[in-house]
Structure 1
Amino acid sequence: MFGILVSAANVVLGFILRSVIAKFFLYFALYFFVTETVSLLQSSHLLPSAASLAGAFGSVGNDVWYFLDLCAFNYGAPLVLSAYVTRFIIRRLPIIG
């Protein structure tokens, strides 16, 4: 009976050490790398800011803005842009993409 319990404890401990803890450290390292890289890109002004995009759309006329507001462009454009940036970042990670 003692051998069965030791064997079961060995299997559970091996599973926890091999999969759970190793994946935790791996995903934490990936999360830390991505967050620090994005903050570095934002601080060095390599990513566009909201002020530069507002300046780019400043010359659009009122008749065009009516249709852009009708299609919820102010919600959809940042959503699509962030989705493309996220897809780009994820595909560059060798483990995930």
Structure 2
Amino acid sequence: MPAALFGILLSALNTVLGFLVRSVVVKFVTFFALMFIVKEFMMVATAWGVFPNASRAQALTSTLAYIPASVWYFLDLFSASTGIATVVSAYATRFIIRRIPLIG
């Protein structure tokens, strides 16, 4: 009887270890690699000047100065700044996710 119990415990341990190795460890390694790739991509993109710098921000600020106060009222009323930031962030996230071969 104890030999049968040992076999059951060994089988349960084997199943749990198989689950851990197949799913948890593989997913951890995969997502760590994706995080590392995205982090390095962002560092390269920053070095290449893909993101806006001060001169581009100054040009945008001077362009927004021409918007009249009546339009600013409605933009503030509808929280356009939050909405635009959310939409741009969603498009950037969609762009990045679609470039991942296994997901997009």
Q: What is the TM-score of this pair, normalised by structure 2?
A: 0.78
SS in 2 for 1:59: coil
Question: How many equivalent pairs are there?
Answer: 97
Alignment root-mean-square deviation, CA: 2.0
Structure having the higher Rg:
2
Indicate yes or no: 2:95 matched with 1:91: no
Percent of aligned pairs sharing the same letter: 49
1:58 and 2:62 aligned: no
The one-letter code of the counterpart of 2:94 is R
Structure 2 equivalent of residue 38 of structure 1 = 42
Gaps of 5+ in 2: none
Query: Please, which runs of 5 or more residues in structure 1 have no aligned partner?
Result: none
Cα offset, 1:71, TM superposition: 1.1
The structure-2 alpha-carbon separation of the partners of 1:23 and 1:56, relative to structure 1 and needing over 3 Å to count, comes to farther
Structure 1 runs of 4+ aligned residues shifted over 3 Å read: 52-56
Q: 1:57 to 1:42 in 2, by over 3 A?
A: farther
Instruction: Give the TM-score normalised by the residue count of structure 1.
Output: 0.83
The match for 2:26 is 22
